[in-house]
Structure 1
Amino acid sequence: MIPERLIKGDTIGLIAPSSPVLKEDLETINNSIMLMESAGFNIKFAPNALSNKLGYSATAKQKAEDINYMFQNNEIKAIFCISGGFNSNSTFDYLDYDVIKYHPKIICGFSDSTSLLNAIYAKTGLVTFHGPTFKALTSWQTKYGYEEVIKRFVEGGLSLGQADDEYVIIKEGKAKGILVGGNLSLVNEMVCGKYSIDFTDKILFLEELFVETPPELVSNYFYYMKQNGVFDKIKGIWLGNYDGAVSIEKILLDTLDGEYNLPIIKSNNFGHIDKKTVIPIGTMAKIDTDQENKIELLEDCVK
């Protein structure tokens, strides 16, 4: 199930499902508002988007109510998470998945939003989008994220990234599968449980923030995935940014230990960096290390 694309005049809704919006972020958020308004869009905050009732965020029910409200509100055509942080998973039990399913629309974010995006896809079949948070549209000294948002959501473009992006082959091969993934630590939390990701026949994309996740913890996450059969189920792996003292691809290869025949590529266009291509969770893609485009989408992700 894919959402409708954005057109000029549409209204974009803003939610804060993770950590609270900080005062020092308001200027950047306002810059993003001005950027999107200049592109012809209207902006609307969810009722609790700026709440910090608990001292570390709005309540789980408040955050879930905002998400449900944004999906049910016909005025809203796309939803952006304002920023990342922690605890978007607290909303899961309070989301109205029927409302989301019957009012499909674009929802975009990254980092902690990984949990929310994958849960919504798992429960409803709605394609969700791992891309810039609303704040990130102007928090970096580049328009890369904004350009990717326009390309994916307005133009319906299918390319993953831009011409000067770098792709590295870690392990040769070919694979087709539906894209799932995002932030490694959050994907790791969804290996098992009520809101687990179905990894069967998927292409798994992963990035991680090195400041919070040293190499030994990355290794821990990969071994947890290995021990729970993730690498037995997936078709291929696409790695994004990780700036730790040891590269994420080395840690992954150490974990796999030659036991799996999976194509693996790495690129510099998603993660906690300035480049954030918009990756549709739930869309069929292909990895082919023999081709110039190492990974490409095989179907539309907006209509």
Structure 2
Amino acid sequence: MNQLPAALQTGDTVGIIAPASPPDELKLAKGIAFLESLGLKVKKGKYLDSRYGYLAGRDHERVEDLHGMFQDPEVKAVICACGGYGTGRLAEAIDYDLIRRNPKIFWGYSDITFLHTAIQQQTGLVTFHGPMLSSDVGLEEVHPYTKDTFLQLFTPKAFTYTHHLSPLHTFYPGTVSGDIIGGNLALIVTTLGTPFEIDTKGKLLFIEDIDEEPYKIDRMMQHLTSAGKLDDAAGFIIGDFHQCEPKKKDQSLTLEQLWETYIVPQKKPALGGFRIGHSSPNFAFPMGVQAALDAAGKKLHISPGVAAKEAIK
């Protein structure tokens, strides 16, 4: 049984860190203002404004900010400012016992996938795949659904994603239940062969990505196939593959052809079209919780990702 973090309450403090690339300052400010509009207080990481090439500070600085937020009793949630690159560099330096002793909400996506996988598998803590402050909430136009998706942090409530939210496509029918895992496809693949290699056995594997041509997605799906990760999975949730178009369309396979090649032959429930990932709206969901996938019925029922504070005491 994975551990649920405590739900937020109005007036709680949330910590903001940048464990990957540096955030855009103006967009980050808008994202922070949004959190404050929800009645939350914001505490910035010590190195949130650091820069080291394409990284938001040196590795030890980003790890220190992560540790600091989990260790700080005042902070009730750790929210990532943006993705980019760099979280895989931190995984072996993280104190997972510290996180296990101080379970709290951890929120982000894209490059943050490596941390989701590492934290979940090392500690059992449920984490959240959700839109981030600089890269999503800080944009000029933000879909109301993207903002509303943060509200699940305040109340333990199950959520059912249906075709009413976006057109869903059944790749293979059937129903199955299991813990949701995964995230960004490129980051999932980078865990292979490491101490943090993703464990898909009996799980619902969620994938999404951005700016990857079909031939690159083909290579990554083949890698997962050869590693046995698709064989082990119980079902598949296909999220948004934003701007994953070929530069030479007449010389490329389509994404649909790739799913027909790698997903359909598994003969396991598989549903695509979810607006989860680098999309607008960008729906958030807890990872590591039980979910029920009905591919033919085109719906995904997801258990709550937080627990009432009194239930944790």
The TM-score, its normalising length taken from structure 2, stands at: 0.89
Aligned-partner residue type, residue 194 of structure 2: G
Match of 2:283 among 277, 286, 294: 277
Alignment-derived partner of residue 64 in structure 1:
63
The Cα of 1:256 is off from its aligned counterpart by: 4.7
Aligned-partner residue type, residue 98 of structure 2: V
Report the Cα distance in structure 2 between the residues aligned to 1:101 and 1:247, rounded to whole angstroms: 42
Alignment size in residue pairs: 294
SS where residue 220 of structure 2 aligns?
helix
Report the Cα distance in structure 2 between the residues aligned to 1:89 and 1:19, rounded to whole angstroms: 12
Alignment-derived partner of residue 34 in structure 2:
35
Alignment-derived partner of residue 297 in structure 2:
291
Moved more, 199-208 or 260-269: 260-269
Map Cα deviations across residues 171-219 of structure 1 (whole Å, 9 max, x no partner).
111111111011110011123321111111000000110x2x1100100
Question: Judging changes above 3 Å, is the alpha-carbon distance between structure 1 residues 232 and 8 closer, same or farther for their aligned structure 2 residues?
Answer: same
Report the Cα distance in structure 2 between the residues aligned to 1:290 and 1:206, rounded to whole angstroms: 19
1:302 aligns with 2:306: yes
Gapped regions of structure 1 (runs ≥ 5): none
Alignment-derived partner of residue 159 in structure 2:
159
The Cα of 1:244 is off from its aligned counterpart by: 2.7
Alignment-derived partner of residue 183 in structure 2:
182
Alignment-derived partner of residue 48 in structure 1:
47
Question: Judging changes above 3 Å, is the alpha-carbon distance between structure 1 residues 54 and 249 closer, same or farther for their aligned structure 2 residues?
Answer: same
The Cα of 1:73 is off from its aligned counterpart by: 0.2
- How high is the sequence identity, in percent, across the aligned residues? 28
Matches within 5 A, 1:206-245: 206-209=207-210, 211=211, 213-242=212-241, 243-245=243-245
Moved more, 80-89 or 185-194: 185-194
Matches within 5 A, 1:49-198: 49-53=48-52, 56-135=55-134, 136-139=136-139, 140-150=141-151, 152-161=152-161, 163-198=164-199
The Cα of 1:264 is off from its aligned counterpart by: 0.8
Report the Cα distance in structure 2 between the residues aligned to 1:124 and 1:279, rounded to whole angstroms: 19
Question: Judging changes above 3 Å, is the alpha-carbon distance between structure 1 residues 7 and 65 closer, same or farther for their aligned structure 2 residues?
Answer: same
Contact 1:2 1:127 in 2 (8 A): yes
Contact 1:160 1:279 in 2 (8 A): no
Moved more, 221-230 or 52-61: 52-61
1:261 aligns with 2:279: no
The TM-score, its normalising length taken from structure 1, stands at: 0.92
What is the RMSD of the two structures over their aligned residues, measured on CA atoms?
A: 1.7
Aligned-partner residue type, residue 288 of structure 1: D
Report the Cα distance in structure 1 between the residues aligned to 2:292 and 2:166, rounded to whole angstroms: 17
Report the Cα distance in structure 2 between the residues aligned to 1:9 and 1:36, rounded to whole angstroms: 11
